[in-house]
Amino acid sequence: MSLRIQAGNEYSDEAAVLIPNIQTSFVNKVSLLPVEVVPDYNRDGKIDDEDRGKVTKDNPFRWWVNDDKDSGEFDASGADTPKQSFSPNDTFFIHGMRDLVDFFPLYLDLDQTLESFPASEYRYRLVCEDVDGELRFTETDLDPEEAGDFLKKLNSSSGGGLDSAKALASKSLTPAGESGGYLTEEFLNKIKDEGKGVILMGSWTTIFKPLILRISKGDTTVADIEFPIKISNVEDMYRHVDMRTVPKERDDSPGNGTASSLVSRTEASDVEDAYPDKLTNGKYFVFVHGFNVNEKKARGWNAEIFKRLHQMGSRARFVGISWYGDAGVGGIDVSWMDWNMNYHKAVFNAFQTGDKLKDALKFTKNEDVTIAAHSLGNIVVSHAVAEGGFSPNRYFMVNAAVAAEAYDASRTGAQRLPMLEKEWKPYLEIPGGSLKVTSARWYQLFDEDDKRADLKWVDRFSKVLQKSYNFYSPGDDVVENPQEDSFAPSFWGIVYPYSDLRAGRGAWGNQEFSKGSRGAAASITMEPSQAGWGFNSKYKSNQPPYEIDAPDPATVLNYNDNDNYNYLRENPVFRGFLEEDLTGSTLGSAKAGEKLVRYHVLAGGIPALSFAAAANPIGGDSMEGRDFNMSADFRTDENQWPTEGHDGKSNKKWIHSDFYGVALSHVYKMYEKMIELGTLDDESEN
């Protein structure tokens, strides 16, 4: 005799199982015992009365398929892209701390049931019909009140306890398929004697069948307790906007961006089956990735950020943006090589993408919108807010690969000299020296009504500070603050794809110094050189090897007419612009007013004279309390920081993509802060 009931049913506020007395050949006694399979429904890290009775047949517990390839404590290879193929061996154990984000805790409330049906006499197993070995679980020593410790607690408090991320990171998994997986007697006794009872569960396939907790003796099934569950592809649980085909070439011809393999999904109907809007609080969280992220990796970034926010309790509707930040040289797609050369082209694309961001997000209908951007994605968002009419409620800048002076002009100060290319320092150091001879400050030669006065990074995005929070890390490798006497990179520094210039330590600064590069390598690997730290060809030497010589500083600084620098407006010391009309007295302003021209000049011809916001606080009264040092504020334990991907100068440092690449257990406090600032965990029903 058996009884199948649904957890959270009409028996009581808690589930109950009607148990017959099977010690006799007929039913002469029944017991009403509370029994329930309880998830951390509100995802607050504890399973308590707030979570009971929420899962029903009409409201199944919803989760995602674990079909990425994340592993270890650190990864930056793109392993998080969903829908990757897997072998049965991949389901046998948890693949490191990064894999834990794909699991969810369940509390098996069997305390009183075990009193009547002890583990020594009865078998307890988890069954899911029509599923083979793709749904699996592992037993833990977690208390229900601390169920979230599998993500938040690095080490077990007791030597061999299975109640922390590191202890569970390589645990073997038991299948809960058609024939079911048995719970051990040791685990069941801990429920009765120690108040334990939490398992971790994950799935490698979509499921819309109830999980069944089956109690049996011999061949007799005493009871089946159902836990309605729905496992979907993770990308079906949130919205996605594909903006990869937005950017054009500088001549206004179609660009080379290829569409994402994941189409745009922006309507409520697109997520209704997997994670309906009724389960959210109506707010939106939008994420924009950074540079050198191809369409496949963008899907991985979006999926991972969604998972982490969801695990930490966000109830906002997640939106992932894909944009063309991986442009190849001369429009050639090099994403298959897993590296990218054309950073300046990516900046050009970022501006254009920002122009269209407001329209792309119109489906949010001016609801409460939080947007976060990583690295170069901050030019997309900052430009959209400053000039594109986009007005989010709050904006999280994460390791922003943008000059701090673009947000606050006062940030130049002491940062100016390290950002001034070595061969240009004499123009500042001699008596009467002026930065106006550089392309970075050429805009100062023009009146405000001249459009060339806008060819600058200074205060370009100052408008965004009203809504911004700067998440920076002083140990950032990619945007490491340049040192004194920096100079344009060498030939091999530009050409070699795995050099620091491309994506390694100090890459952002190297890209700034390579603007207007005088070497042949720049013309091969980047956008055509213009302005920047190059010198005007009119000063070319007449002697071998016919290199461009820097003009005499004293002579240049005398090229002015009543301090108006008329000569330098039309004959800049720096390398010429690709658009020659920019230096003309008649057409210069109008040409600078053309968007694509302006974006192209800023991207490849106007260097920054401040460090990047990614490694530094923006500071100032406007940012008081809104600059967050991630390394100091959000690391779980500096001494346990991963060594994978953090050797040499990066040892124990929070580097450029660690909020994503390092296991959530090390960085979860940052996600909690974002959720707090945006009240993303507001439980008001939509």
Are residues 224 and 294 located together in one domain of the fold?
Answer: no
State the virtual CA torsion across 84, 85, 90, 94 in degrees, nearest 10.
Answer: 10
pLDDT band at 97 (very low <50, low <70, confident <90, very high): very high
At residue 23, the pLDDT reads: 44
Are residues 308 and 190 located together in one domain of the fold?
Answer: no
List, in sequence order, every residue forming a beta bridge with 248; answer none if it has no partner.
254
Q: How much is the pTM?
A: 0.93
Q: Give 54's DSSP letter.
A: -
List, in sequence order, every residue forming a beta bridge with 225; answer none if it has no partner.
5, 213
Are residues 324 and 376 located together in one domain of the fold?
Answer: yes
Asked whether residue 550 is assigned to any structural domain, the reply reads: no
Asked whether residue 30 is assigned to any structural domain, the reply reads: yes
The last residue of one of the domains, among 203, 232, 261, is 232
End-to-end CA distance of the chain: 43
Q: CB–CB of 272/37 below 8 Å?
A: no
At residue 21, the pLDDT reads: 47
User: CA angle, corner 314, sides to 311 and 318, nearest 5?
Assistant: 100
Higher confidence at residue 648 or residue 312?
A: 312
Coil, helix or strand at residue 83: coil
Are residues 344 and 311 located together in one domain of the fold?
Answer: yes
* pLDDT tens by residue, 204-262: 999 999 999 999 999 999 999 999 999 999 999 999 999 999 999 999 999 999 999 99
Q: Which two tokens stand for residue 587?
A: 């057409």
Asked whether residue 555 is assigned to any structural domain, the reply reads: no
Are residues 125 and 212 located together in one domain of the fold?
Answer: yes
Higher confidence at residue 511 or residue 449?
A: 449
Count of domains in the chain?
A: 2
Are residues 393 and 300 located together in one domain of the fold?
Answer: yes
Q: CB–CB of 424/442 below 8 Å?
A: no
* pLDDT tens by residue, 650-677: 999 999 999 999 999 999 999 999 999 9
How many residues in the chain? Answer: 686
Are residues 11 and 146 located together in one domain of the fold?
Answer: yes
Angle between the 377-387 and 343-360 helix axes, to the nearest 10 degrees? 50
At residue 414, the pLDDT reads: 79
Are residues 146 and 254 located together in one domain of the fold?
Answer: no
Edge-to-edge strands, sheet with 36-39: 36-39, 104-109, 198-203, 135-139, 174-175
At residue 32, the pLDDT reads: 64
Coil, helix or strand at residue 589: helix
DSSP track, 611-633: -BGGGS---SGGGTT-EEEHHHH
Are residues 157 and 306 located together in one domain of the fold?
Answer: no
Asked whether residue 580 is assigned to any structural domain, the reply reads: no
At residue 567, the pLDDT reads: 83
Q: CB–CB of 374/399 below 8 Å?
A: yes
Q: Which residue has the tokens 């930040």?
A: 325
DSSP track, 120-160: TT-EEEEE-TT--SSEEEEE----GGGTTHHHH--S-SSTT
Coil, helix or strand at residue 172: strand
- Cis amide bond preceding 617, omega within 30: no
Q: Which two tokens stand for residue 53?
A: 């009775």
Are residues 294 and 145 located together in one domain of the fold?
Answer: no
* pLDDT tens by residue, 21-80: 444 333 333 356 778 999 999 999 999 999 999 999 999 999 999 999 999 999 988 899
* pLDDT tens by residue, 174-183: 999 888 899 9
Q: Give 376's DSSP letter.
A: T
Asked whether residue 565 is assigned to any structural domain, the reply reads: no
In 3-state terms the chain splits into helix, strand, coil percentages (rounded to 5) of 35, 15, 50
What values do phi and psi take at 88, rounded to 5?
-55, -35
Averaged confidence pLDDT in the chain: 88
Are residues 466 and 338 located together in one domain of the fold?
Answer: yes
Smallest Cα–Cα separation from 497: which of 354, 271, 337, 279? 337
pLDDT band at 89 (very low <50, low <70, confident <90, very high): confident
* pLDDT tens by residue, 349-403: 999 999 999 999 999 998 999 999 999 999 999 999 999 999 999 999 999 999 9
Asked whether residue 394 is assigned to any structural domain, the reply reads: yes
Q: Which two tokens stand for residue 65?
A: 């398929």
Q: Give 601's DSSP letter.
A: H
Position 495 pLDDT exceeds 50: no
Cα(529)–Cα(508) distance, rounded to whole angstroms?
Answer: 17
* pLDDT tens by residue, 586-627: 999 999 999 999 999 999 999 999 999 999 999 888 899 999
pLDDT band at 486 (very low <50, low <70, confident <90, very high): low
Range of the domain at 475: 246-426+457-525+611-678
Asked whether residue 576 is assigned to any structural domain, the reply reads: no
H helix and E strand count, the chain: 21, 21
Cα(554)–Cα(125) distance, rounded to whole angstroms?
Answer: 86
List, in sequence order, every residue forming a beta bridge with 468; answer none if it has no partner.
395
The last residue of one of the domains, among 232, 255, 281, is 232
Cα(81)–Cα(78) distance, rounded to whole angstroms?
Answer: 6
Q: CB–CB of 109/124 below 8 Å?
A: no
Mean pLDDT of 326-340: 57
Q: Which of 300-309, 378-387, 515-524, 551-560 has the lowest mean pLDDT?
A: 515-524
Position 570 pLDDT exceeds 50: yes
Are residues 221 and 142 located together in one domain of the fold?
Answer: yes
Q: Which of 126-135, 191-200, 266-275, 598-607 has the lowest mean pLDDT?
A: 126-135
